[in-house]
Amino acid sequence: MAEAAAGPLKVWLEREGALLRLRLARPKANLCDAEMIAALHAAFDAHRGAPGLRGVLLDAEGPHFSFGASVEEHLAERCAGMLASLHALILAMAGYPAPILVAVRGQCLGGGLEVALAGGPIFAAPGAAFGQPEIKLGVFAPAASCLLPWRVSAVAAEDLLWSGRTIDAACAHAIGLVQQRADDPEAAALAYFDEHLAPRSAAALACAVAAARAPRLRELRERLAEVERLYLDRLMSTHDANEGLAAFIAKRPPVWEHR
């Protein structure tokens, strides 16, 4: 039973406090906007260091995990705050002292995929779809530029980031983005938790997570700062970034000037 509903997020503990459940609860889009990001960050902070916590399961209500971030929050006058809050959440998740499992149904795009990438193993339904479509709007995906190479080859990461194409669960599994395909990804994630994490020491798991991720976490802090500056100082000064976002909001094709 949900212990709290922090705005668009449902939060509860189960398995006698061993598993934190987080559920995006604003279907069908489950946008990772400022409100969702703040709710996720607050939930992770509230349970960080909880005695006996051996894992987190992040999933979503409705047919889709997340359509991504709010395009309006990417506009020039708002994107600095949006990036700062999203990247703070990404760092909190990447350095969390318990494994974060992610169960995905339907579309997992843009900022939604960036949040999923900051966690641990992804369990996906056969109909799940993954992509970073930001390039189609004349922008790029800062966090995914740092996180995708953790999961997949440089070639596969660049393909997704530069093309903006969406791939299905089978392709995502083949390139290593998805750990397991399952008709019921939540059940598969719970089964993984029960077999592989629940029997372990929470203290040992916290140290194991830190040991495995420490070098990448240090790099992630530096890289996020770099790509954030690139996004704000260079990209958002271009005509095409502002045109692409405006065109999306106006529901018209963008007119690129390549500058």
CATH number among 3.10.50.40, 3.40.30.10, 3.40.250.10, 3.90.226.10, domain 4-184: 3.90.226.10
> Crossing angle of helices 79-94/110-118, nearest 10°?
30
For the entire predicted model, the pTM comes to 0.96
Enumerate the domain spans of the chain.
Answer: 4-184
Helix H or strand E encompassing 55: strand 55-60
pLDDT of residue 7: 84
Residue-level pLDDT at 4: 58
State the pLDDT at residue 74: 86
pLDDT tens for the chain, 259 residues: list them: 445 555 899 999 999 999 999 999 999 999 999 999 999 999 999 999 899 999 999 999 999 999 999 999 889 888 999 999 999 999 999 999 999 999 999 999 999 999 999 998 999 999 999 999 999 999 999 999 999 999 999 999 999 999 999 999 999 999 999 999 999 999 999 999 999 999 999 999 999 999 999 999 999 999 999 999 999 999 999 999 999 999 999 999 999 999 9
First vs last C-alpha separation in the chain = 52
Please give the pLDDT value at position 1: 45
Host H or E run for residue 103: strand 100-104
Cα→Cα distances 208→48, 97, 142, Å: 16, 9, 27
Under a CB-based contact definition with an 8 Å cutoff, are residues 24 and 65 in contact?
A: yes
